Amino acid sequence: MNEILAKLAATSDIWEKLIVLLIGWLMGLLAPAIVDGIKRKRENKLGRKAILAELHDLSGVLAAVTYLVRIRDGTLDREFFIWLKDIFNWGERTEEYTNWSKRIDIQLAWSDEEIARFAALGEQNDRKSAVLQKYPVPLLDSRVSALWSFDTDFQRKLLEIRQLSHRLDDLVDRSRKLHDMTFSTLSDENRAAVQNNIQETLSLYGRTAKRMVDKIVALKG
């Protein structure tokens, strides 16, 4: 009986050692994956935060540009002023945006008729050719290859914003070509057509920029 118990004890000891070895082997295999997963999660968190900060800054710039476009279009109204103030007050902004917001408060105190007159005045007085600028998103562009590591909804929203950014760049290129054409020798009819195309391009830029700002706000929540 004692011999049988001794054999069972020896067998149990062997199995315990095998289990320990097996666990050690599995941990050796899984440890790099676990470490990599933790590292990737930390990097994603930092990358997400950096992208949101970049886009937050860009939203303020694009909102200001949209305001300038609306002045040229003569399409300023109370609804837009309210939207603009919300964007300038969204999150932590610099003093420049605080001052913008205060000026908007003055304009919001106007009657609808006064706002309409101000819009018409801007349309009449701001007819010189405008040169648009590109506003790059380097952090977003650098993370494009790793977007799969974010959750699906965040990926989709980032891609939509990036597509709108590319559309703005295309409109900038178009506006510059049209601007260059104004220095060419053109008939009155062709010059009028070029000026009209410039205005249409500028208006489309403003609408696209506003849409991009709204997408950024929706992204950050």
Task: State pLDDT tens for residues 151-180.
Answer: 778 888 888 999 999 999 999 999 999 888
**Pair of tokens at residue 93:** 């902004």
Distance CA(182)–CA(194), nearest Å, equals: 7
> What single letter denotes the amino acid at residue 213?
V
So what's the pLDDT on residue 183?
A: 85
Phi, psi of 45 (to 5 degrees): -65, -45
The band of 190, judged by pLDDT with boundaries at 50, 70 and 90, is confident
Residue appearing with tokens 């900060």: 53
Specify whether the CB–CB gap between 128 and 182 falls below 8 A. no
Q: How far apart (Å, rounded) are the C-alpha atoms in residues 177 and 84? A: 30
Mean pLDDT of 46-50: 76
SS3 of residue 63 by DSSP: helix
pLDDT at 213: 97
Tell me the pTM: 0.76
Under the banding of pLDDT at 50, 70 and 90, the label for residue 38 is: very low
- For the chain, the domains span 2-220
In the predicted model, what is the mean pLDDT of the chain?
Answer: 80
Task: Say which residue, 3 or 70, is predicted with more confidence.
Answer: 70
CA distances from 50 to 43, 147, 217 (A): 10, 14, 15
Burial 167-187 (b: 16+ CB within 10 A, else e): bbeebbebbeebbebeeeeee
CA distance 186 to 167: 28
- Tell which wins on pLDDT, 8 or 7: 7
- From the number of C-beta atoms within 10 Å of its C-beta (0-12, 13-18, 19+), residue 214 rates as middle
In 10 A of CB 73, how many CB atoms?
17
